[in-house]
A and B are shown apart, each in its own frame.
Chain A
């Protein structure tokens, strides 16, 4: 930009009296024509829905809106009041999601950092291993969930129970044990997400200038110290990015819960809602029970949580920067 500014300002006087669309843009109507397809769709399907769902979240709404049978209308803060103070399923969903996000995000970051360091040297075997670790990120998520379902199958025919049987341990009902539901989903998430984080960390590591390490080596720093005092601090921006994106991603978990923890009564979440999370609960309320207003309130709680966490994360990483 800066290099071109002089030429543009030099041209300015000749365009003193700009007419029509040229008043607002140096390229006239074509700017608007080129922007229009994206902006119109963006407003209609990305911006408007945010406000519409905010409005719905204060309403009772069920798409039928019959005066007698199922009236629609404002409930003020009724949906939010019910969510926070009365709805035990929502509390369970919130709790499960919190456990899941904390577990999945921290383990994914640790695993991907370790992988990035282990596979950092550019050798042939490392390149192959990087592809192997990255593969889950591009595999159909439904397919991986279905495979995990077959691995964690409760009776003797599942892979994991087969391994246990070989060691003389009796089969475990993996997917029907409430205490195991969230850990299993965490494991699936780390398995699926570590490769993606690894690529980001690898790019971060590769952008660190070599002479930092050379200088440190001359000063006699051992590999551990070099990692602690050079690599780790310089990876902080990547860490923040991986952190925010994986937190946002983790909050949106749906497929694993929906497919691995079904219930017989046509809702989601599994036995005693052991695996119920926010988005599956949103789906349950909105599209199984058709409480669209209530589901919108859930969506806004989800948004609020993600928004606050992103802000905290950004603030924290900023303040770390100031400290240095």
Chain B
């Protein structure tokens, strides 16, 4: 018996990144078969996306088909913009005689895009503001010698244990007392203090030598200059990861906006989607429109993820392994 199987004795650099390799290291004909469950799972993963995209391009007649068609017979845009709607020759009982997505939400300017803009505005404002105040706080907690900062930091860490729904009612009452219900303030201000971001930035800063800050102080740089010129550039990777986290979270925020936004002008995208669904729950024809809206609502975050994938993945990985 040979001591080491030839297949197993591979030079180090042909190992996989981590070294646990795998039941697939022997390249037998079984290794391909072993991946079949993986591919089946992939199909389950992709199916809802496929269903969402194709459904949004089907005609109402096709959506009503039993069993449903896998590939649309004809790729149509009626669910987005129905040029035939309101045509006098059209039979009003015809189920396909309905508004497309962009012809709905007439009570607000720009219709559906009003909610896209609302969401964009809220997400960008929160993300930028929260990163600024969090990095300032993280800088002080990490690099200043200050009385009481340990208590502050422990409180910040401790608060991460508390589910945010615990504070939802007092926060609602605060918004109501400030007369902020149904305004952008209610979206933005309570969303600014994010304990996890400060925690993450402090962790990241602890790996940056204090000497950098000390030497800047000796050069008589003001604290704000140090923060802006030294800390922020050094924090860039961590900041990008956290910005993606924060913006995806805010983009998908649903429960809080539903509570504070009553008038259609103040809804964000998820609330507008849920309203579409509430109005057309039983109506099969509405499904194409709902799928189209879901598709459009998903595109920005998916794109953001694909563009900034590396930072994002690293952020998650860092958060898990401290």
**Which residues of A come within 8 Å of B, CB atoms?**
1, 3-4, 7-8, 24-27, 30-31, 34-35, 37-39, 41-42, 44-50, 52-53, 56, 63, 115, 117-122, 129, 131-136, 138-144, 146-151, 153, 155-159, 161-162, 165-166, 191, 196, 199-200, 202-214, 217-218, 223-224, 226-227, 230-231, 237-238, 241-242, 248, 251-252, 254-255, 258-259, 262, 279, 282-283, 286-287, 292, 295-296, 299-300, 302-303, 306-307, 310
Contact = CB atoms under 8 A, between A and B. Distances in A.
B169 interface: yes
B91 interface: no
Contacts of B316: 196, 199-200, 203
Given A1-B210, A4-B214, A30-B224, A47 B18 contact: no
A166 B146 contact: no
Contact of B209 (A3, A24, A49): A3
Given A208-B20, A307-B161, A133 B270 contact: no
Contact of B306 (A47, A131, A151, A303): A131
A50 to B, nearest CB: 6
B24 A34 contact: no
Nearest to A128: B42
B46 A132 contact: yes
A3 to B, nearest CB: 7
A119 B64 CA distance: 39
A155 B206 CA distance: 57
Contacts of A115: 41
A129 B147 CA distance: 49
A191 B320 CA distance: 20
Which residue among A165, A223, A248 has the maximum number of chain B CB atoms within 10 Å of its CB? A223
Contacts of A207: 18, 321
Given A4-B214, A41-B189, A151-B51, A46 B195 contact: yes
Interface of B: 4, 8, 12, 15-25, 35, 38, 41-42, 44-49, 51-52, 55, 63-68, 132-134, 136-137, 139-141, 144-149, 152, 155-156, 159, 161-163, 165-174, 176, 189-190, 192-193, 195, 198, 206, 209-211, 214, 222-224, 227, 248, 251-252, 254-255, 259, 269-270, 273-274, 277-278, 281, 284, 287, 290-291, 293-295, 297-298, 301-302, 304-306, 309, 313, 316-317, 320-321
Nearest to A7: B214
A120 B144 contact: no
Contacts of A231: 20
A295 B169 contact: yes
Given A26-B146, A120-B18, A251-B163, A143 B52 contact: yes
Q: Sorted from nearest, which 8 A-B pairs have the closest CB atoms? A: A49-B167, A156-B66, A203-B317, A143-B294, A210-B19, A52-B170, A38-B137, A25-B146
Nearest to B156: A42
B221 to A, nearest CB: 11
Nearest to A125: B35
A3 B210 contact: yes
Contact of A139 (B152, B174, B298): B298
Which residue among B65, B309, B317 has the maximum number of chain A CB atoms within 10 Å of its CB? B317
A47 to B, nearest CB: 7
B287 to A, nearest CB: 5
Contact of A138 (B41, B148, B209, B304): B304
B295 A143 contact: yes
Given A34-B137, A38-B137, A138-B302, A27 B144 contact: yes
22 contacts: A25-B146, A34-B140, A46-B193, A49-B166, A50-B166, A52-B169, A121-B16, A122-B17, A129-B42, A131-B306, A135-B302, A138-B301, A138-B305, A139-B49, A140-B298, A142-B254, A144-B48, A146-B277, A157-B287, A259-B274, A262-B278, A299-B166
Nearest to B119: A140
Nearest to A30: B223
A249 to B, nearest CB: 9
A149 B273 CA distance: 13
A108 to B, nearest CB: 13
B166 to A, nearest CB: 5
A31 B17 contact: no
A46 B167 contact: yes
A121 B148 contact: no
Contacts of B167: 45-46, 49-50, 52-53
Given A210-B12, A218-B4, 5 more contacts: A35-B149, A119-B38, A132-B45, A206-B18, A287-B172
Contacts of B321: 200, 203-204, 207, 237-238, 241
Contact of B163 (A26, A166, A196, A303): A303
A257 to B, nearest CB: 11
A203 B320 contact: yes
B28 to A, nearest CB: 13
A139 to B, nearest CB: 5
A118 B45 contact: no
A287 B259 CA distance: 7
Contacts of A166: 67
B190 A45 contact: yes
A86 B221 CA distance: 64
